[in-house]
Structure 1
Amino acid sequence: MTPTMPTTPSPPGIQAPPQVAQQVAARLLALVGDPGTATVPCRVDWAGPVDVPLADERAVQAACGVMEVHGRASGRPTPLAVDYASTVAGVLAAQGVCAALLGRARGAGPAWVRTSVGQAALFGVVQYLAAATADGQEQETAGPRRCAPDSAGHRPFVSADGVVFEVETLEAERWLGFWQRLGASRGAVRDGWAPFQQRFGTA
């Protein structure tokens, strides 16, 4: 049986903590196996300090840029079909509780944890926000908004026997080695590297 995440009562008029975030945090804290996790006050809400009325996962994704970043490949804001921001919020909550326990073990005073689904969403897109607002040459060469998708969007790879798959690497050498093992020509590998890199900019 999964334990309930430690929480503090929500003040009147404040929504209860998001269910998915609570469940994720509870499962992670159960793996810690420390009964002290139940003694750390922890609260997760939807908006936190984000000054926008947020009531669910879809609203958070829209307000905090997740839909914009995810939709770059198709050219329009697109929601993630999973509770991404809520899941990240649960992970952050569990990490906060563990940090409080660690501080307590080292002699720190009482601690409490608070985070939100909105903050978690912003945390997830921070690299894209940073690149899009960078000054100078870095913005011109590495900023995600400079990575224009092709007209068909970024499609997954398809093997010769029809299996759809993805490839993930940030290193050109690994990209080269992978395709060389499959018998691809060096020219084709070289020509495919730049479009492949741009996929990361469109999230």
Structure 2
Amino acid sequence: MFTGIIEELGEIVAIENLPDAARYTVRGPVVTSDAVHGASIAVNGVCLTVVDETGAASLKGGEFTADVMAESLSRSSLGDLKPGDPVNLERPMVANGRFGGHIVQGHVDGTGTVLERTPGEHWELVRVSLPAGLARYVVEKGSITVDGISLTVSDITDGEQPDFTVSLIPATLAQTTLGVKQPGARVNLEVDVIAKYTEKLLGAAAGSAR
């Protein structure tokens, strides 16, 4: 489990395309400082597993390698990345750590597109498109994960083409990819899992009451 508090901006070092997957090599000195084979690291909000087939060689130099399944490539924006691109990195939350963001699984629900950036004196507003099927899980002042970043929804527009707005403080702009993502860029979205579980439980309860 993650919390959406980005630990460092990493970099895509190499991408190897496989028949039904891809192998990514990512540079991240902080997140690899205690990483081992089988460890989980979130890359732009996608939970990936460190693969180490050469006895720690893949973790030398602050780099790690992870295999990305076709499912993850189709449901996320990882397929848009190329060597040299920055990525948001986060290790899983430790049991005795501070819960700085919200419950993030690293299981991307879909992608949105950056629609607009509005600079302010001390922050910046970023408006992002929202897949219609996810709109019911997003509420004003609720939490959403954008490229692995735990953010608070400041505004939401419903309708056939819903979108939402987040307010980014200078630290978020400087320390995450949202500081450089321009209109037209795709971003990974993960909605609040509590909302999804609540919907399913209430639906099951309503069905059993009939």
Higher helix share: 1
The two structures have a TM-score, normalised by structure 1, of 0.27
Point out which structure has higher relative CO (alpha carbons under 8 A, 6+ apart). Answer: 2
Higher strand share: 2
The two structures have a TM-score, normalised by structure 2, of 0.26
Of the two, which has the highest radius of gyration? 1
